[in-house]
Amino acid sequence: MKKIALIAMALALGGCATQKFELQSAAQAAPALDVAQSFFISGIWQSKEVDAAKVCGGAAKVRSVEMQLTPANIGLALITLGIYTPRQIRVYCVR
């Protein structure tokens, strides 16, 4: 039973995903916005919007936008059996 649980955990944690949209390449500093967005039932039929231009003070100042499913997010999804599935959103600005 322990082996099955370990294999399931390894597969779940191996499923971390990052989606990143780079508008300008440069060294990344700390994100201007770093929040967890709440989704339910694995985010099926749900969407969230972040106005990166508003966060950075203009569209020309947006460096990149990143959405990540972190190990902590996956842990919460496993604990709640997929009912609560947060995702981390980060917006990086030109400084």
Q: What is the pLDDT of residue 61?
A: 87
Q: What is the pLDDT of residue 19?
A: 66
pTM of this prediction exceeds 0.75: no
Please provide the DSSP assignment of 21-82 as one string.
EESS-S---S-SEEEEEP-BGGGTT------HHHHHTSGGGEEEEEEEE-HHHHHHHHHTTT
Q: What is the pLDDT of residue 85?
A: 87
Render each residue's pLDDT in the chain as its tens digit; 95 residues.
777 776 666 655 555 666 666 777 666 678 888 888 888 887 778 788 888 889 998 888 888 888 888 888 888 888 888 888 888 899 998 87
Q: What is the pLDDT of residue 2?
A: 77
